[in-house]
Amino acid sequence: MPEIKFCHRNPVPMEMHKVKIVQKLTLLPAAERLKKMEEAGFNTFLLHNGDIFMDMLTDSGVNAMSDNMQAAMLRADDAYAGSETFYRMRDKLEEIFGIGNLLPAHQGRACEHIIAQHFVKPGNVVIMNYHFTTSKAHVTRLGGRVEELVKDEGLITRSTLPFKGDIDLDKVKACIEKEGAENIAYLRLEAGTNLIGGQPISYENMKAATDLAKQHGIMTLLDASLLQDNLYFIKTREESMKDKSIREITRMIADLFDMIYFSARKFGFGRGGGILVRDEAVFHEMEDYITMFEGFLTYGGMSVKEMEALIVGFDETMDFDVISQGPQFIAHCVKELDAMDIPVVTPGGGLGAHINAREFVSHIKSEEYPAGSLTAALYLCGGIRGMERGTLSEERNPDGSERIASVEMVRLAFPRRVFTLSQTEYVIDRVKWLYDHREMIGGLRFVHEPKTLRFFTGRLEPVSDWPQKLVAEYIKDFGEDQ
């Protein structure tokens, strides 16, 4: 639908749904939030959800189901083997993507595990436009290497480039020439790119990259977890696609790839995942991994009730009115913050609004995790849980030194169909207050550092008493009950 016009004020994004079920939120006083942050080791992943006012950690598994999705759960065929629910889900995905071979899994990283286990050998290279933490970890765990070949412009945080997730075709050609096609396990394109601000990739770029791969006999793989946002951007930003429906664009994209996988925690508004395999022989080669690691072939570790909900959710993902709200709310948040000269990633992408922590707290050195520090500060000064997407999310180099991230961001995710405009305005207000007091924020250091995916369960401590001083200043401005 077109943007809804207002006659007495500037347009704002509109929720294209009405609320039928609510969940109470709690805003703890700032002094209590400080205690909770200390108990969580200054890692927002370790906070209890009951202690959070606005949970903007992720869009994964926290999206709101529709009334029709919840109703569909009553239809579930709760059979261990041969569930009719599975066949309905398989048929719906074939209707949308044109691929009839489905391997179900409990979530996206389970799909990545199975794909990497089957295709990645020691010394292999996987080409990506940009990595996601788990997608890279599964490759490197097996002795492979990831080559991130996003266009240089994609890493410029403030720009007007509409498709910052596009892969650099010249870099792809050079990589194939250097490594040899036989040593490249697959080309993985992420639509859109999670770690550089939910930025989309264009259909034109996907087609050119997959054509290049196919010329060299390299398998093509689409990570469709964030596809719904990417579909919105292709339709609204890519001139040749403006007159096509979301279903038409989806099928055109699907036809480019040998294999498609997704986290239904994002794509489909539910919880689960799946791999669609075009080649039937390859499909049968991969079946054993489902029964070994996930469950039986017709549920793959998923609840059949969730699967029934997803069948409806996949249809809703093809509805332009449904998928437009998230990007519009994110764009509003980014536009307001940018107008205040707060360093954010522009243009607004999918998934969430992204703050450039390297500029926001430029006085904190990378080894003291500026994005992690800013994420902690946002919880202290507003009860907002965001996610660090920077150096803390990387793994150390073999010599123990820090691998400094190319971008240092704080992600404020917008779970789909969850937050209202007034809640978005609250976030904008608290980020502005924090920006005005940014010099008070200090760094962090590890006290417990896991070797792999340390950002999930690692514990940190502040390098000084900056959290106490920041909270005291916050209380001075907002009072003890805020």
Give the CA distances from residue 177 to residues 42, 120, 207, in Å, rounded to whole numbers and listed in that order.
45, 19, 20
Q: Which residue has the tokens 């390299």?
A: 218
Active site residue 133: yes
Active site residue 289: no
Give the CA distances from residue 231 to residues 49, 249, 319, 440, in Å, rounded to whole numbers and listed in that order.
31, 7, 10, 40
CA distance 103 to 80: 15
**DSSP states of 271-298:** S-EEEEESSHHHHHHHHHHIIIII--TT
Active site residue 403: no
Active site residue 389: yes
Choice among 203, 314, 455, 474 that is catalytic: 455
Active site residue 42: no
CA distance 176 to 277: 24
Choice among 42, 97, 119, 132 that is catalytic: 132
Active site residue 396: no
Specify the DSSP element, H or E, that contains 331: helix 320-339
Choice among 92, 389, 411, 416 that is catalytic: 389
Choice among 80, 158, 178, 211 that is catalytic: 80
Residues 6 or more apart whose CB falls under 8 angstroms from that of 73 comprise: 305, 306, 308, 309
Give the CA distances from residue 350 to residues 198, 221, 231, in Å, rounded to whole numbers and listed in that order.
5, 20, 10
Choice among 36, 92, 151, 266 that is catalytic: 266
Choice among 133, 210, 250, 391 that is catalytic: 133
What is the distance, to the nearest Å, from the Cα of residue 73 to the centroid of all Cα atoms in its chain? Answer: 26
Active site residue 121: no
Contact 123, 289 (CB under 8 A): no
Catalytic residues: 80, 132-133, 223, 266, 389, 455
